[in-house]
Amino acid sequence: MRSDDELRSEIASARDALKVAVDHLDKIARADRVMEDDWQDVSAAVGLSMALHREHMARVGVLLGLGGAQQRLLRFLLRHVGQIVSGPELSGVAGIAEWARRVRELRVEHGWPIESGVQSPDLRSDQYILLRPEPDEDLARRWRLAADIRRHGGAVRDRILAYLKAISPEAADREDLDYVTKTGTWKSSIDDLRADGWDIRSSDEDPQLAPGSYRLLL
C-alpha cells in the first residue's frame, strides 16, 4: 500500500529533475556567447535530467496503481477513444523511452484498434487514435499469423508473399512487414514480386492506403 509521503516525494523528485534541466538551459541562455561544445554539454546534461524525470514520473504511476507502461498507455487511450493524441503525450504517460513499442504491442499482440500515420493516411506519423473501446480479434489473429510466418523463416520475398496472400485483400503496413521479414530492407523484395507479376498495390496506385502500406490483389 502506498504512502502519501512516498507519492509526494516521487512527484517532487520529478519536478526537481525537470528544474535541473531548465537551470542548465537558463545558464547557457545567459552566456555571452554560445559555443558548440558548451551546447553539446548542456544537451547531454538535459538528457540525463529528462531521463531521471521520466523515471520518477513512472514511479508515481506505479504508486497510483496505474501498472506498467503498457497498462498506463491503454488506460489513457481508453479515456480518449476516438480522439487523436500525440506521440509526446503518450511518451509522457508511458514514462519510458520505448513507449512506441508498447503501443505497437497493444495493437498487434492484443488487438486494440490503434492507428497512427503508419496505418492511416489521415494521421501524421506522430499521431495516434484508438478507434473503439474493445480489442479487435482480427488484429490479434493477424499478429499470430505474422508471428507464425516469421518463425518459419525462409527468404524475405517468400515471407512477404505468404503474409500478403494470407491477409488479402487487406493491406500490410510497414510495421507488419518489418516484423514478418525481421528487417527494414524489404522494399526491393516487393519490387521483385511485382516484376514477377504479382499485383501488389501501394499508396502510389491506391490513395486510400497509407504511405508504406501494400495490398495484394488476387
Q: How far lies 21's CA from each of 26, 44, 45, 51, 54, in Å?
A: 9, 10, 7, 10, 12
**The pLDDT of residue 1 is above 70:** no
The C-alpha cell 509526494 sits at 8
| Arithmetic mean of pLDDT, 110-133 | 91
Pairing of strands 84-86, 171-172: unpaired
| Arithmetic mean of pLDDT, 58-65 | 91
| Arithmetic mean of pLDDT, 168-177 | 90
Q: Is the pTM of this model over 0.75?
A: no
The C-alpha cell 513507449 sits at 99
In the chain, pLDDT over 90 holds for what percent of residues? 71
Quick check: bond before 135 cis, omega within 30?
no
Cell of 68: 506498467
pLDDT band at 72 (very low <50, low <70, confident <90, very high): very high
**The pLDDT of residue 62 is above 80:** yes
> For all residues of the chain together, what is the average pLDDT?
92
Q: State residue 182's pLDDT score.
A: 86
Q: State residue 121's pLDDT score.
A: 83
Instruction: Give pLDDT tens digits for 185-206.
Output: 899 999 999 999 999 999 888 8
Apex 123 CA angle, 53 and 188, nearest 5:
100
Apex 93 CA angle, 90 and 96, nearest 5:
85
pLDDT band at 2 (very low <50, low <70, confident <90, very high): low
φ, ψ for residue 114, nearest 5 deg? -100, 125
Q: Measured on CA atoms in the order 96, 101, 105, 106, is the torsion positive or negative? A: positive
Burial class (CB in 10 A: 0-12, 13-18, 19+), 160: buried
| Arithmetic mean of pLDDT, 153-177 | 92
Instruction: Give pLDDT tens digits for 14-57.
Output: 999 999 999 999 999 999 999 999 999 999 999 999 999 999 99
